[in-house]
A and B are shown apart, each in its own frame.
Chain A
Amino acid sequence: MSEVTTRQIGRSPPRVEARAKVTGTVEYIHNLRLPRMLYGKISRSTIPHGRILRIDTAAAAALPGVARIVTGEDVRAIIPEPYFGPAFHDQPILALDKVRFAGEPVAVALAADPQVAEAAAQLIVVEYQPLPGVFDEIEAVSSPVFVHDVLKPAGTFADLKHLAGRRDTNVALDFHLRRGDADAAFAAADHVFEHSFRTPQQMHTPLEPHVCVADARDGAVTIHSATQTPSFVRMEIARLLGWPENRVRVRTAFLGGGFGAKVYVKLEALAVALSLLAGRPVKLALTMSEQFFTISKHASTFRIKSAVTRDGRVTARRCEVFYNGGAYADIGPRVAQKSGFSAAGPYDIANVAIGSYEIYTNRPPAGALRGFGIPQLVWAYESHTDLIARALGLDPVAFRRRNLLREGAQQATGTVMRDAGLAAVLDRIAARIGWDQPFDRGAGSIKRGRGVAIGFKASISPTTSAAHLAIAADGSATLYCSTVDMGQGSTTAMAQIAAETLGIAAEAVRVVAPDTDVTPYDMGTLGSRSTFHMGHAVRLAAEDARAKLAALAAEAGVPEGSNLPIPEIFRRRYGMQAGTIIGGGTYIPSYLPPDPETGLTSNATPFWMAGGSGAEVEVDTETGQVRVTRLVTVADAGTPVNPRIVETQISGAAVMQFGFTMLEAMEFTEGQLRNPSLADYKIPGIRDLPPRFEAEAVDAAQRIGPHGAKGVGESGTFGVSPAIANAIEDAVGVRITELPITAEAVYRALRRQAGEPLAEE
Chain B
Amino acid sequence: MSTAPREIRFTLNGTEVAVTVAAHDSLVDVLRDHFDLFGVRESCGQGLCGCCTVIVDGKAVSSCLSLAVFADGAELLTVEGLARDGRLDPVQEAFIEAGAFQCGFCTPGFILMTKLLLDDKPAPSDDEIRHYLSGNLCRCGSYPQIIEAVKRAARKRAAGQDDPL
Asked whether, in the complex, the Cβ of B46 is within 8 Å of the Cβ of A207, the reply is no
Asked whether, in the complex, the Cβ of B139 is within 8 Å of the Cβ of A686, the reply is no
Tell which of A207, A651, A695 touches B51, judged by Cβ atoms closer than 8 Å. A207
**How many Å from the CB of A656 to the closest CB on chain B?**
5
A288 CB-CB contact with B under 8 Å:
yes
Asked whether, in the complex, the Cβ of A648 is within 8 Å of the Cβ of B102, the reply is yes
| Residues of chain A with a CB closer than 8 A to B133's CB | 686
| Residues of chain A with a CB closer than 8 A to B41's CB | 30, 207-208, 256
Asked whether, in the complex, the Cβ of A28 is within 8 Å of the Cβ of B134, the reply is no
Asked whether, in the complex, the Cβ of B38 is within 8 Å of the Cβ of A31, the reply is yes
B144 CB-CB contact with A under 8 Å:
yes
Chain A residue at smallest Cβ distance from B106: A207
Asked whether, in the complex, the Cβ of A24 is within 8 Å of the Cβ of B49, the reply is no
| Residues of chain B with a CB closer than 8 A to A487's CB | 101-104, 140
**How many Å from the CB of B133 to the closest CB on chain A?**
5
Q: Tally the A-B contacts, defined by beta carbons under 8 Å.
A: 160
Chain A interface category by residue count: 35 or more
Asked whether, in the complex, the Cβ of A207 is within 8 Å of the Cβ of B139, the reply is yes
A25 CB-CB contact with B under 8 Å:
yes
Considering the chains assembled together, what is the distance between the CA atoms of A328 and B146 in angstroms?
A: 38
**How many Å from the CB of A336 to the closest CB on chain B?**
26
**Residues of B contacting A: mostly:** loop
| Residues of chain A with a CB closer than 8 A to B101's CB | 21-22, 487
| Residues of chain A with a CB closer than 8 A to B162's CB | none
| Residues of chain B with a CB closer than 8 A to A20's CB | 104
Considering the chains assembled together, what is the distance between the CA atoms of A131 and B5 in angstroms?
A: 47
Chain A residue at smallest Cβ distance from B78: A24
Q: Per-position contact with B for A248-278: 1 when CB-CB < 8 Å, else 0?
A: 0000001111110000000000000000000
Asked whether, in the complex, the Cβ of B145 is within 8 Å of the Cβ of A683, the reply is no
| Residues of chain B with a CB closer than 8 A to A254's CB | 103-104
B60 CB-CB contact with A under 8 Å:
no
> A11-19, A54-62, A97-105: which one contacts chain B?
A11-19
Which residues of A, 684-706, contact B by the 8 Å Cβ criterion? 684-687, 689, 691, 693, 695
Asked whether, in the complex, the Cβ of A685 is within 8 Å of the Cβ of B137, the reply is yes
| Residues of chain B with a CB closer than 8 A to A687's CB | 130-131, 134
| Residues of chain A with a CB closer than 8 A to B142's CB | 648, 651-652
Considering the chains assembled together, what is the distance between the CA atoms of A17 and B101 in angstroms?
A: 11
| Residues of chain B with a CB closer than 8 A to A289's CB | 45
Asked whether, in the complex, the Cβ of B78 is within 8 Å of the Cβ of A686, the reply is no
| Residues of chain A with a CB closer than 8 A to B79's CB | 22-24
Which residues of B, 108-137, contact A by the 8 Å Cβ criterion? 108, 111, 126, 129-131, 133-134, 136-137
A641 CB-CB contact with B under 8 Å:
no
Asked whether, in the complex, the Cβ of B96 is within 8 Å of the Cβ of A24, the reply is no
| Residues of chain B with a CB closer than 8 A to A19's CB | 88, 96
Chain A residue at smallest Cβ distance from B133: A686
A205 CB-CB contact with B under 8 Å:
yes
Asked whether, in the complex, the Cβ of B82 is within 8 Å of the Cβ of A23, the reply is yes
A91 CB-CB contact with B under 8 Å:
no
Q: Give the top 5 A-B pairs by smallest Cβ distance, nearest first.
A: A24-B39, A655-B141, A487-B103, A256-B105, A21-B104
16 contacts between A and B (CB under 8 A): A21-B101, A24-B38, A24-B39, A24-B40, A24-B80, A24-B107, A25-B38, A30-B41, A255-B103, A256-B104, A288-B49, A489-B102, A652-B140, A678-B44, A686-B134, A687-B134
Known: A207-B137, A257-B103, A685-B136. 8 other contacts (CB 8 A): A19-B96, A22-B95, A24-B78, A256-B41, A288-B49, A488-B102, A649-B102, A684-B141
